[in-house]
């Protein structure tokens, strides 16, 4: 749980965020640059490439592979701090440049996907609590579990098939800039919506039987009013935390959706880097993800006290 | 799987009545889920009993047949019976998910137990590191491990397992911490119990319940993740009938032979749903 | 309130009653839990529904206000409010009378206010819900009402959030909400059971005062017959969902007609009959000596002193009570005596040895001498163990006698606490609260300790069960020459079973002495306030 918003807390949270970034860098550095070690360079030694030992040696020097671990580590950290993420082993281009080209595309996709996911979750929650036919309620209460069980890549394929090929609603050959995003966003929204809808429904159930909801009914409020004015705000609060956690899910989802829909972006970049064992690129993507996670969760921590009055002031000594 | 799990679950699910109590109340949906899991497990154990077709070798002249009496779910581009491939593929999904959950459960629970039981600085340091793992999206973390471990079915399963360590560790720690605060634990210390004795007799058994239930839920998640890695081509290589890979292969024939994509996807959904349903029932009790 | 209004209503009500319940039956999931309940409440009258947990008193109240849980159904009967049968009303129509004609003061003020909305918005809401639109007028009336229910700085309270108010203040806000539209009937469902004893009395006094001012009728739901006697004109005693007895309060308390009511009366803590306590042997040595005990805790708002320079001693074979309200430091003190916490300063001598210095193995060995019994028998027993394993565990911790001997000692311990031997195979979940507490006592006794610390050990139990456990403890003390340190928030429980008492308030010991002496000549103002808060003054001799 977040604590009250004081300068000390803000500084602590910032410090924690920086620690997470540093640790994520270290872990990914050890995983991706040290442990595979020469394995990355094995490809250059492949006889088919016809490189001379001298050429290989110069490539090794170029990538700094012969330096001791700590030297590489500090060199890389300093380089990262100045925005130099190294070079892609495959394209030879600076990783930073590849990231800058792809980041805005994925950011747009992720932003729309997140908005769509939250909207979908809210719609499910509202429909599941509508008074009326029990079976409709049951259906929508089962929806989050179903959404969480669908393989995202499969859903994407299905959507292309239905909307582009069967119904012809969305052009495959030359879609407009927004048109081409419709299906990927819809696909991405599903894995985001599932956990949020799940938490929303569980919270609505839990808060509906809280004594304060009962007291509101006793004041003469209708069930609907209590749901909207008392239960909803309490139920939405923990969703904020989930929203922070699902941020990572967005990037994972982008890997799949961009691959399925043939879009360029960070996800596709990550997918390609794994296929080609291009570790420098993958490490940069991992760090971008960790950075996004830290920023989003910092914002969530700062937002909490604005929404929950209990976190605003230190509690007094009244039990 | 886990060395601690034996003394705990043995007395509880040793009998059929125990299982029934564990899943109470048994609704029709839950019955169906248990039945589905049992069938899929049997597929994985003895696929030959369920289908006579060869999952790898196709029959020429039999390519891309739509579902029929002979081939219930149709055939693929090499003339292989798709139902046979799905039945044989159950082995990969289940063994992969089992491996993944095993890695996460074993390592995660151990980390969480040590952090929660010792407390203090050790706890803080361990849990900070676990937080870092949570900051990296699980798929990207899995990809990072796949770069090291290489492509393959078991590698993918281990990578998925590693990504779930953080979640298991967190849950195990919070359970251990909350059980440690219970009055019956203090009462056990108060009646002369030693630290290890109380942890063994009270803290561990009472914490493991929800960790094991979570493992059941994680099982469905692992199946999804492994099929995703298979789809991206990082898992088992062709001609393995792995469900995710089958979707990737069938995708090329989507317009003409929809069954090659649709059925493997439906199989994944149904198995994951069933695993989640059973997991939630375990969690509730 | 001291004037017995009851006399007026000795017979049937003269006017049309505000509420008339006839043949009410309620079922949960088809299982009937309230059977054929009938009673009336006249204008301005207070009627108490009294019963133990599971008696159906709260269900009856929920049925009257039309807010049964989703799986509950009225299966028979009529509920006539102001001459109209509301039991056949549905949804929206019922909403129009809730808050205006009938309103509710809930049980737990802590969770009965929405934590995310201000006091003001939750109070003014009741006007807005019933069509009032003049915002300025509503606000003025709300602030006045907050002052009227005894809240200081009503303007400030109006803008505050629930977490900024104490439990008693929250209950005053909830009373204000219930009274805002001057309803004909207020249902007060255990309105004070979650509050400290001195606050309880003030809240009940407030409800009385406002009731008289507005001529409102009150349905008081309570487990406490003494409270009902003090506050109600008539009492309806429920057991197992059926009425045992219904009459004017003086008669129910003075000449109870049913065996059950007689039992309830006998079990009221202040009246529970014990054999007179033996004279305190002057030569006895002190088994506990607490000297200048100080305990600090780290809290959110800085260090917090829970126990502040407390000293007392307890003679061997006697019972010493620690009495105080929540936050008084009584439990912290008791835990220090049991060796479960490390005091910041001061000493605790048990059998002449300072136990605050004990660590490791010597501390573990010390556990043989002192055992603690907790308040909540649902939390203090491991749900995975059988009763036999629970009771035998201390034996396994010391010396490991073989299986046969352990079994024999478990059976002996079960007999000691008057439980059937076959319970040894059961798990705690299959036991009632009283049975569980007996198991906890058996576990505490099996090491034959000389000192038992009882931390609110009977507070979570129904009165009849409470009385049984108290009698059991009394008998065990006489048989085994035990010394008790008895922690309680309830001074009335202490009177019959303790020899000496320390009254605590905000971490300090305000008074220490022999029980009789403290009751009759309490010097501290706080002690006298506690004594005044003991209900039962109207028809029961204290």
A48-52, A259-263, C234-238, C263-267, range with greatest mean pLDDT = C234-238
- In tens, the pLDDT along A266-302 reads 999 999 888 888 888 888 999 999 998 899 888 888 8
Position with higher pLDDT, B183 vs A34: B183
- In tens, the pLDDT along B191-236 reads 999 888 998 899 988 988 889 888 988 999 999 999 999 999 998 8
The Cα–Cα gap between C249 and C235 comes to: 5
Instruction: State yes or no: pLDDT of B18 exceeds 80.
Output: no
Classify the C-alpha dihedral B239-B241-B247-B251 as positive or negative: positive
Question: Given 1.10.3720.10, 3.40.50.300, 1.10.287.470, 3.40.190.10, which CATH number is that of A7-311?
Answer: 1.10.3720.10
- Annotate C111-134 with three-state secondary structure: HCCCCCCCHHHHHHHHHHHCCCCC
B195 touches chain C (CB under 8 A): no
Kindly report the average pLDDT of chain A as a whole number. 82
**Is A222 within 8 Å of C112 when comparing Cβ atoms?**
no
Nearest to C169 by CA among A319, A78, A163, B238: A319
Q: What structural domains does chain C harbor?
A: 16-266 (3.40.50.300), 286-369+449-532 (3.40.50.300)
**Is C301 within 8 Å of A217 when comparing Cβ atoms?**
no
- In tens, the pLDDT along A60-117 reads 666 666 677 788 888 888 888 888 888 887 777 888 898 999 999 999 999 999 999 9
- In tens, the pLDDT along C309-342 reads 999 999 998 999 999 988 889 999 999 999 998 8
Q: What is the pLDDT of residue C2?
A: 42
Q: What is the pLDDT of residue A151?
A: 93
Q: Which CATH superfamily is domain B37-47+80-284 in?
A: MetI-like (1.10.3720.10)
Sheet strands (E) in C4-68: 19-28, 31-41, 46-50
With beta carbons under 8 A apart, name residues in chain C contacting B10.
Answer: none
How many angstroms separate the CA of residue C83 from the nearest CA in chain A? 20
**Is A153 within 8 Å of B145 when comparing Cβ atoms?**
no
Backbone angles phi, psi at A289, to 5 degrees: -65, -45
Q: What is the DSSP letter of B221?
A: H
Q: What is the pLDDT of residue B257?
A: 87
Instruction: State yes or no: pLDDT of A157 exceeds 50.
Output: yes
Average pLDDT for A195-221: 91
- Compare CB distances from B194 to C364, C380, C383 and report the shortest one's residue: C364
Average pLDDT for A236-245: 80
**Is A274 within 8 Å of B146 when comparing Cβ atoms?**
yes
What is the separation of C-alpha A184 from the centre of its chain, rounded to a whole number of angstroms? 15
B199, B114 in Cβ contact below 8 A?
A: no
**Is B201 within 8 Å of C393 when comparing Cβ atoms?**
yes
What is the separation of C-alpha A57 from the centre of its chain, rounded to a whole number of angstroms? 39
**Is C364 within 8 Å of B192 when comparing Cβ atoms?**
yes
With beta carbons under 8 A apart, name residues in chain A contacting C125.
Answer: 216, 219, 221, 229
pLDDT category at A245 given cuts 50, 70, 90 is: confident
Q: What is the pLDDT of residue B134?
A: 87
Q: What is the pTM of this model?
A: 0.81
Q: What value of ipTM does the predicted structure carry? A: 0.84
Q: What is the DSSP letter of C395?
A: H
- In tens, the pLDDT along B268-285 reads 999 999 998 888 888 776
Residue C238 neighbours by CB under 8 Å, 6+ apart = C37, C49, C50, C51, C55, C56, C57, C60, C244
**Is A251 within 8 Å of B137 when comparing Cβ atoms?**
yes
With beta carbons under 8 A apart, name residues in chain A contacting B277.
Answer: 145
**Ranges under pLDDT 50 in chain C:** 1-13, 542
List the domain boundaries for chain A.
7-311
Q: What is the DSSP letter of C523?
A: -
- Compare CB distances from C115 to A219, A310, A318 and report the shortest one's residue: A310
Instruction: Give CA separation, C208 vs B188, C9, C149, C153, in Å.
Output: 47, 17, 11, 23
With beta carbons under 8 A apart, name residues in chain B contacting A150.
Answer: 265, 269
Average pLDDT for B18-31: 73
CA atoms within 13 A on the CB side of C482: 29
């Amino acid at each position: 749980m977040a604590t009250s918003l004081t300068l000390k807390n803000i500084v602590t949270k910032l410090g924690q965020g920086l620690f997470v970034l540093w640790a994520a860098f270290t872990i990914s550095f050890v995983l991706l640059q040290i442990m595979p070690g020469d394995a990355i360079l094995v490809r250059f030694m492949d006889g088919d490439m016809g490189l001379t030992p001298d050429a290989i040696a110069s490539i090794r020097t170029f990538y700094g592979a012969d330096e001791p671990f700590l030297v590489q580590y500090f060199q890389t950290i300093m380089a990262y701090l100045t925005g130099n993420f190294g070079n892609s082993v495959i394209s030879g281009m600076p990783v930073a440049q590849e990231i800058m080209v792809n980041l805005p595309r994925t950011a747009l996709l992720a932003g729309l996907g997140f908005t769509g996911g939250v909207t979908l979750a809210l719609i499910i929650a509202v429909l599941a609590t509508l008074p009326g036919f029990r079976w409709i309620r049951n259906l929508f209460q089962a929806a989050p579990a179903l959404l969480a069980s669908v393989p995202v890549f499969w859903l994407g394929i299905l959507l292309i098939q239905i909307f582009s090929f069967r119904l012809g609603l969305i052009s495959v050959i030359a879609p407009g800039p927004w048109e081409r995003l419709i299906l990927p966003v819809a696909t991405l929204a599903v894995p985001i919506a599932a956990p949020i809808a799940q938490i929303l429904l569980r919270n609505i159930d839990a808060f509906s039987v809280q004594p304060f909801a009962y007291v509101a009914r006793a004041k003469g409020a209708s069930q609907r009013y209590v749901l909207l004015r008392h239960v909803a705000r309490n139920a939405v609060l923990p969703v904020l935390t989930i929203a922070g956690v699902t941020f990572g899910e967005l990037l994972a989802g982008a890997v799949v959706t961009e691959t399925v829909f043939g879009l360029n972006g960070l996800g596709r970049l990550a997918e390609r880097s794994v296929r080609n064992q291009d570790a420098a690129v993958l490490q940069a993507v991992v760090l971008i993800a960790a950075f996004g996670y830290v920023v989003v969760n910092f914002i969530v921590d700062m937002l909490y006290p604005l929404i929950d009055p209990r976190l605003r002031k230190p509690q007094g000594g009244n039990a | 799987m886990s060395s601690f799990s034996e003394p705990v679950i043995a007395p509880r699910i040793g009998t059929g009545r125990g299982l029934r109590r564990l899943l109470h109340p048994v609704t029709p949906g839950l019955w169906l889920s248990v039945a589905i899991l049992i069938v899929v497990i049997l597929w994985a154990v003895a696929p030959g009993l369920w289908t006579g077709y060869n999952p790898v070798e196709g029959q020429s002249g039999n390519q891309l047949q739509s579902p029929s009496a002979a081939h219930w779910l149709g055939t693929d581009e090499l003339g292989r019976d798709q139902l046979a491939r799905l039945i044989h593929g159950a082995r990969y999904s289940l063994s992969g998910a089992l491996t993944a959950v095993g890695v996460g459960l074993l390592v995660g629970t151990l980390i969480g137990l040590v952090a929660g039981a010792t407390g203090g600085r050790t706890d803080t340091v361990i849990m900070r590191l676990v937080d870092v793992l949570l900051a990296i999206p699980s798929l990207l973390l899995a990809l990072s491990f796949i770069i090291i471990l290489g492509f393959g079915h078991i590698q993918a399963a281990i990578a998925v397992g590693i990504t779930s360590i953080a979640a298991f560790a967190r849950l195990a720690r919070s359970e251990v911490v909350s059980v440690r605060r219970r009055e019956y634990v203090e009462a056990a210390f108060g009646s002369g119990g030693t630290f290890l004795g109380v942890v063994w007799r009270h803290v561990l058994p009472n914490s493991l319940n929800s960790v094991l239930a979570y493992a059941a839920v994680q099982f469905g998640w692992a199946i999804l993740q492994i099929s995703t890695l298979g789809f991206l081509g990082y898992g088992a290589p062709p001609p393995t009938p792995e469900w995710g890979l089958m979707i990737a292969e069938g995708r090329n024939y989507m317009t003409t032979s929809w069954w090659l994509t649709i059925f493997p996807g439906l199989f994944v959904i149904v198995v994951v749903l069933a695993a989640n349903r059973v997991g939630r029932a375990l969690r509730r009790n | 309130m001291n004037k017995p209004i009851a006399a007026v209503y000795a017979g049937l009500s003269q006017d049309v009653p505000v509420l008339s319940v006839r043949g009410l039956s309620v079922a949960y999931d088809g299982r009937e839990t309230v059977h054929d309940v009938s009673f009336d409440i006249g204008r301005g009258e207070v009627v108490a529904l009294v019963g133990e947990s599971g008696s159906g008193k709260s269900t009856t109240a929920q049925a009257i206000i039309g807010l049964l849980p989703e799986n509950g159904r009225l299966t028979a009967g009529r509920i006539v409010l102001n001459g109209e049968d509301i039991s056949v009303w549905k949804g929206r129509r019922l909403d129009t009378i809730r808050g205006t004609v009938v309103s509710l003061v809930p049980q737990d003020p802590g969770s009965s206010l929405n934590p995310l909305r201000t006091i003001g918005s939750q109070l003014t809401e009741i006007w807005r819900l019933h069509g009032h639109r003049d915002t300025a007028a509503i606000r003025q009336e709300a602030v006045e009402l907050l002052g009227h229910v005894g809240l200081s700085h009503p303007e400030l309270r109006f803008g505050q959030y629930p977490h900024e108010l104490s439990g008693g203040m929250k209950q005053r806000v909830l009373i204000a909400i219930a009274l805002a539209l001057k309803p004909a009937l207020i249902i007060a469902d255990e309105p004070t059971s979650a509050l400290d004893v001195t606050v309880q009395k003030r809240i009940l006094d407030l409800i009385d005062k406002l009731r008289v001012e507005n001529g409102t009728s009150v349905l008081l739901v309570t487990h406490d017959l003494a409270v009902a006697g003090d506050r109600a004109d008539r009492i309806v005693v429920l057991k197992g969902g059926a009425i045992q007895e219904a009459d004017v309060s003086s008669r129910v308390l003075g000449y109870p007609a049913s065996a059950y009511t007689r039992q309830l009366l006998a079990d009221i803590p202040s009246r529970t009959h014990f054999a007179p306590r033996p004279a305190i042997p002057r030569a006895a040595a002190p088994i506990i000596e607490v000297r200048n005990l100080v305990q600090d805790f780290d809290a959110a708002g800085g260090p917090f002193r829970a126990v502040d320079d407390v000293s007392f001693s307890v003679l061997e074979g006697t019972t010493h009570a620690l009495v105080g309200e929540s936050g008084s430091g009584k439990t912290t003190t008791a835990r220090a005596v049991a060796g479960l916490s490390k005091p910041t300063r001061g000493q605790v001598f048990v059998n002449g040895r300072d136990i605050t210095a004990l660590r490791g193995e010597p501390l573990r060995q010390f556990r043989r001498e002192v055992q603690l019994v907790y308040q909540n028998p649902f939390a203090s027993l491991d749900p995975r163990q059988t009763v036999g394993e629970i009771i035998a565990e201390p034996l396994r911790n010391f010396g490991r006698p073989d299986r046969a001997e352990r079994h024999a000692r478990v059976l002996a311990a079960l007999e000691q606490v008057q439980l059937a031997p076959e319970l040894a195979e059961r798990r705690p979940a299959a036991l009632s609260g009283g049975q569980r507490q007996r198991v906890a006592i058996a576990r505490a006794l099996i090491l034959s300790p000389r000192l038992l610390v009882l931390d609110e050990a009977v507070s979570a139990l129904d009165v009849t069960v409470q009385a049984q456990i108290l009698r059991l403890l009394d008998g065990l003390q006489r048989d085994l020459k035990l010394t008790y340190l008895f922690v309680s928030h309830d001074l009335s429980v202490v009177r019959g079973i303790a020899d000496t008492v320390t009254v605590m308030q905000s971490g300090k010991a305000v008074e220490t002495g022999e029980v009789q002496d403290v009751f009759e000549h309490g010097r501290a103002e706080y002690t006298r306030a506690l004594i005044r808060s003991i209900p039962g003054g109207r028809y029961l001799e204290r």
